Structure 1
Amino acid sequence: MTPYSISQLFIVKFVKNIRETFVLSLRKLLFLGRYKELIIFPRWRILVQTKNRAVVGILLMVFLFFVILMVFATFTVKVFNDESKVFDSQNKRGQIAVIEVSGPIMQAKETVELLEKAEKDKSVKAIILRINSPGGAVGPTQEIYEEIRRIDSAYNPEDKTASGKPIYASFDAIAASGGYYLGAAARKIYASPGTLTGSIGVIMNFTDLSKVFEYFKVKQTPVKAGKYKDIGSPHRSMTNEESGLMNKMIQVVHKQFMRDIEATRKEKLTKEILELAQGQIFSGEEAKELGLVDELGSLWKAGRDIHKELNLEGEFALKYIKKKKKSGFWDLVDNLDQATTNIRLSTMVNYMPMLIFGK
């Protein structure tokens, strides 16, 4: 039995004893005198003598003490959680890890943690990044790209002490813009013929609401230190100089995008990267003809090919690595905090987005 299970059983038994004491105390209160009011607590119906304030006070103190103990027990159980409780590895027999990237890429933390988990897992011989994303913010996408390159570049089949793992990419329904950016970091890309990919480009959206504010007679008076501090503000039109500055920055990020693709695929492309990086959307079949994709096939075809390529022993199986879902009190608080963060990020996207969305 693990230390975690022993501690958990101890806490459960402790809380159970407290609860029994609490119930016994409540039952004793029923014989104190006449009762004129019915108060309903969860699971218990208790008659309380309204004239006896001391009894009511003691009852409330016991109840409060019980609640505090429950919170303490939940927190203590959480403390005993270790890394094995954070990650969930489905199909432990699999030697090929699958890490899923789904939806807009707005944060790098979770994907990077899963990559590091797969890297440290000695039973994992290769990693497949399963991408189903239209793109996302530039910064997080580049952070994940760098982590993929680090792990993949460190792989050396001749050196048994090497910590790296070969990383492959498998495109789902869509892997556009930032989604393709991540795929380009892998040593080989698989996609279905109908997968939507490409959209290699950068976009920023600004909304000029100055006429709307003028119509409703709303005037903003910014107080700023720095000539360009309110650049892109919805309360006024952007000047030609400001527009030029933003376009210059966009071009720099666009060059970074193209440079990172060429770092791994320059010899595979059938056309110049600048011609392919104008935001066009390609099907998986078209992308293969252009050298943006290596093979046409599903996730399972990719897994079987990798199993054969690396001469892995045993039966082919995929091992999904995910963050474990939790339902504890403090995990609920964490989830609420994460939801708030996501809403805040969505709001930021509407006002100052620097995105590589596949649109």
Structure 2
Amino acid sequence: MKKSRTGVAVLFIGFLIVAFVALIMTLSMLSNEKEETGTWSSILEGGNKIGIVTIEGTIMSSDDILKQLRKYRKKSSIKAVLLRVNSPGGSVAPAQEIYREIARLREKKPVVVSMETVAASAAYYISSNADAIVCSQGTITGSIGVIMILPEIHQIIQRVGADVNIIKAGKYKDIGSITRPLTEEERGILNGFAAEIHEQFISDVARGRKGKIEEQKLREIADGRFFTGEKAKEWGLVDDIGNFYDAVKVAAKLGKIKTEPELVYPKKKWDNLLDVFMESAASAVVKVVERTRALQAPTIQ
């Protein structure tokens, strides 16, 4: 009987711990939502902050970056935003979405880009809409162009004696299929598509870099070639040569921050109240489990 009561007590404690963790998670999410609105926290916080957004690797999605840009736009304590870019490029649509959100952000506060190793193609597309771009002399940037790679394996299929059946509704539905070569008509369609995207790229860069590079000059170098940071500065694709902290200085100046700026990085998923209690809660759960196992184990009297 005594052992049974102890087991019930241990399970009840375990339930309380789980409920406590759930409560903390709920408070954590509510805390994050309040940060998004930037009401009370913005009033209490100082106004010397620079929000940091990292864009790294191939750009295939814009969701996380858009959320962070919107969050910084709403927080009055963030006086400037700095994008740390290290990307070879990526998909067109995500880059255009980020470009558009940067335009909205610039209506309220300055945006500065700090380029690391590479910021080319779609990464330069995004960067071009900032108030200022800072990079190192050896940074690889530019590459204003569009590429579509369509492999053909129809000859390999023929050699192995395999057949591929394509059922379609729409003359061009299988355009770019790897099972057959392109027709001249299809090649013309795809060339026109690439040219249209290329024109969007050039127009947006010209808009973002207005007053820093003439459009005609931009078109001369918008042929897909890439540049060192030093050469990019000569062409007017970037503004200054420097490292991350040089870019911080530029952002602080544009944001009219008089004191030493505080750099604000995106919070991790549970980088809040939950982090404070999680370790102790997890430890308590482990102890409950160990105690339960001990009660269930055979004993010698």
**TM-score with structure 2 setting the length:** 0.76
Q: Which residue pairs with 1:234 in the alignment?
A: 178
Distance 1:277 1:323 in 2: 38
Residue 193 to residue 214, structure 1, CA distance change in 2 (3 Å): same
Residue 266 to residue 212, structure 1, CA distance change in 2 (3 Å): same
Q: Which residue pairs with 1:301 in the alignment?
A: 246
Q: Which residue pairs with 1:105 in the alignment?
A: 59
Between Structure 1 and Structure 2, how many residues are aligned?
A: 260
Distance 1:76 1:309 in 2: 42
Q: Which residue pairs with 1:277 in the alignment?
A: 222
Q: Which residue pairs with 1:148 in the alignment?
A: 102
Residue 209 to residue 222, structure 1, CA distance change in 2 (3 Å): same
Matching of residues 88-237 of structure 1 within 5 Å: 95-152=49-106, 154=107, 164-237=108-181
Identity %: 37
Amino acid at match of 1:269: I
Q: Secondary structure of 1:128's match? A: strand
Q: Which residue pairs with 1:24 in the alignment?
A: 7
CA contact (8 A) 1:129 1:167 kept: yes
Q: Secondary structure of 1:292's match? A: coil
Amino acid at match of 2:139: T
Amino acid at match of 1:173: T
Which runs of no fewer than 5 residues in structure 1 stay unpaired?
Answer: 1-19, 28-61, 155-163, 329-359
Q: Which moved more, 1:242-251 or 1:298-307?
A: 298-307
1:267 to partner: Cα distance: 2.7
Q: Secondary structure of 1:312's match? A: coil
Q: Secondary structure of 1:174's match? A: strand
Distance 2:81 2:244 in 1: 12
1:145 to partner: Cα distance: 0.4
What is the aligned-residue RMSD (CA, Å)? 3.2
1:217 to partner: Cα distance: 1.2
CA contact (8 A) 1:118 1:321 kept: no
**TM-score with structure 1 setting the length:** 0.65
Distance 2:110 2:5 in 1: 58
Distance 2:57 2:30 in 1: 25
Q: Whose helix fraction is larger, Structure 1's or Structure 2's? A: 2
Q: Which residue pairs with 1:49 in the alignment?
A: none
Residue 77 to residue 265, structure 1, CA distance change in 2 (3 Å): same
Matching of residues 233-272 of structure 1 within 5 Å: 233-269=177-213, 272=217
CA contact (8 A) 1:96 1:124 kept: yes
1:321 to partner: Cα distance: 2.5
Amino acid at match of 1:136: G
Distance 1:23 1:232 in 2: 69
